[in-house]
Amino acid sequence: MRLTLLLVGMRWLAFGQEPAKVVPPVPADRRADTYAVYSAVLAHPSLSHPDDNKKYVIEELSGAMSGARETDPGSCVVVPEDYRAAFTEVLADRSEHHEERFRLERAFTIPKPYDLITGAQARQFTASRNGRVRIGDEVELFPGAVDLITLGNVYFDRKRTVASVYTSAYCGSLCGLWTWRVFVKNAKGGWDEPHWSACMTIAASRSTTVRPPPGWLDRGQARTPTLR
């Protein structure tokens, strides 16, 4: 009788639990362009310090960073007149898909090695860098990595000629950068960054959104501006 009750109870518990949600990969019709844009981002990631990473640690779910940090791209990107119609379509794509999450694959084409890590591992990374910038070799759990990089979803215009993605790079409780990156497809089918981003959020004594001086994000070799 005890065994029967136990089995019934286990079935009831299993029935009462919600099945774990399976996060899909990037849809096939967006995959090639999405990973091409991600690769352009990671070729020169936007960091709050010179790029000392020997390898990149990337959270495996797109858009996993806090939604509260994601600023409005319409107010943080200055678009030339010739591209405003296309960027309006990018904003519409974001409006439709910004709540979606995708499981990233090892499909980046970048010069440095990288690891995709789970949300639990990302929390370990965050805990290991509480209070100051850590040189990657000092932390056994993530040797060679200084930043935890999180990639948002990539949004496109209808012709897939303009793309935008929100990215973050966390390196400590007072060290990090969150910003929009915008790319334009060139004649060879690659993605160039025209540096239209006009603001970013940096981790300091408080989370602060600032406007960078010209060229601040150029080639990902960012320096934190002085806050006043």
The two beta strands, 56-59 and 148-156, are parallel
Amino acid 14: pLDDT:
47
When pLDDT is averaged across residues 37-44 and rounded to a whole number, the result is: 98
As a whole number of angstroms, the distance between CA 105 and CA 102 comes to: 9
Amino acid 202: pLDDT:
83
When pLDDT is averaged across residues 11-22 and rounded to a whole number, the result is: 56
Whole-number average pLDDT of the chain: 81
Percent of all residues in the chain with a pLDDT value above 70, rounded to a whole number: 73
Confidence band (pLDDT; 50, 70, 90) for 41? very high
User: Reduced to 3 states, what is the DSSP secondary structure of residue 57?
Assistant: strand
Whether residue 217 has pLDDT greater than 70: no
| Structure tokens given for 124 | 């370990």
As a whole number of angstroms, the distance between CA 56 and CA 170 comes to: 11
pLDDT digits (tens, 9 = 90+) for 76-132: 899 999 999 999 999 999 999 988 999 999 999 999 999 999 999 998 898 888 754
As a whole number of angstroms, the distance between CA 147 and CA 125 comes to: 9
Please check whether residue 28 is in contact with residue 155, taking contact to mean a CB–CB distance below 8 angstroms: no
As a whole number of angstroms, the distance between CA 8 and CA 15 comes to: 11
Higher pLDDT, 157 or 125: 157
Amino acid 18: pLDDT:
55
Whether residue 56 has pLDDT greater than 70: yes
Q: Would you kindly state where each structural domain of the chain is located, as residue ranges?
A: 23-220
Instruction: Tell me how far apart the terminal alpha carbons of the chain are, to the nearest angstrom.
Output: 72
The whole model's pTM is what? 0.79
When pLDDT is averaged across residues 23-35 and rounded to a whole number, the result is: 97
What's the half-sphere exposure (Cβ side, CA atoms, 13 Å) at 224? 20
As a whole number of angstroms, the distance between CA 157 and CA 88 comes to: 8
- In angstroms, the Cα distances linking 166 to 18, 80, 110, 126 are 31, 20, 18, 19
Higher pLDDT, 134 or 35: 35
When pLDDT is averaged across residues 19-47 and rounded to a whole number, the result is: 93
